Amino acid sequence: MNKPLQVKIFADGADKADILRLYANPVIKGFTTNPTLMRKAGITDYEAFAKDILSHIQDRPISFEVFSDDLPDIERQALKIAGWGANVYVKIPITNTLGYPTYDLLHRLARQRVQLNVTALMTIDQVRQVSDALEDYAPSNISVFAGRVADTGVDPLPVMAEAVSIMRRYSRQELIWASPRELLNIFHANSIGCHIITVTADVLKKLSLVGKNLEQYSLETVKMFREDAVAAGFTL
């Protein structure tokens, strides 16, 4: 890398071994997870898993998500999760599954100084309303799923740049570029002043390729094709 990245890289996942391995890497500035990732990792006891991870990681932010669909119960879960540690951010979805916005709930929790990570946003209007709800009561993250925006054929860069501009009014809010699809997204996020990008272990493995000589990379690719053809025993 020619210039140090300003965007902070957070590891996204729920595999304990991966999390602890990445914790040893000073490039990783925080961690996020969600119920879907936990299910894929085979976790059955949510609270026990979270507290186990927190027994190892106490000096970097880490987000755990509520999973209730009832707004009063979301609030109860949020307050419980917030009590697990000073470095915990509570992930709250932008709406419940019926589409009811969580703006009022976010405002109440922020006023109680709960550190929040508001998740699953995809529109500028959502960013504006969440930012207004959170204000500057506590450190908070607004997580825009740029990768999923891109999946619909929409360029997420202008969306994320406008989100940065909207959130600039509040010094304690940080924008997360969520669901990146490739390593290049780290540089996209950095270019528009996005504060954080969440990256899976698979994408993080490609960090070693940054700055690699492309002619050498081209030769290695040619060798890979040749070696695989020979190993497969192909003939013509």
Model confidence over 196-217: pLDDT tens digits? 999 988 888 888 898 899 999 9
d(CA 223, CA 130): 50
What count of other Cβ atoms lies within 10 Å of the Cβ of residue 41? 16
Residue 225 included in any domain: no
Dihedral (C-alpha) 141, 24, 207, 139: value to the nearest 10 degrees?
10
Q: Would residue 161 count as lying in a domain?
A: yes
On whether residue 195 sits in a domain, the answer given is: yes
- In the chain, beta strands by DSSP E: 8-12, 28-32, 62-65, 88-93, 116-121, 140-144, 173-177, 196-200
State the average pLDDT over residues 27-46: 96
State the residue for tokens 């009811």: 100
Mean pLDDT in residue range 168-193: 96
pLDDT at 153: 97
Q: pLDDT tens, 48-96?
A: 999 999 999 999 999 999 999 999 999 999 999 999 999 999 999 999 9
206-234: average pLDDT: 95
Q: How far apart are CA 206 and CA 196, in angstroms?
A: 18
Asked if the structure places residue 183 within a domain, the reply is: yes
Q: Is residue 144 part of a domain?
A: yes
pLDDT of residue 203: 87
Q: What is the pLDDT of residues 114-170, one digit of tens each?
A: 999 999 999 999 999 999 999 999 999 999 999 999 999 999 999 999 999 999 999
Range of the domain at 127: 8-207
Decide if 233 is inside a domain: no
Number of domains observed in the structure of the chain:
1
Q: State how far the alpha carbon of 217 is from the alpha carbons of 84, 183, 223, 224, in Å.
A: 46, 16, 10, 11
pLDDT at 1 > cutoff 70: no
Instruction: Answer whether residue 222 is part of any domain.
Output: no
Tell me, yes or no, whether 98 lies in a domain. Answer: yes
Report the pLDDT value the prediction gives residue 2, as an integer from 0 to 100.
57
Look up the CATH number of the domain holding residue 75. Answer: 3.20.20.70
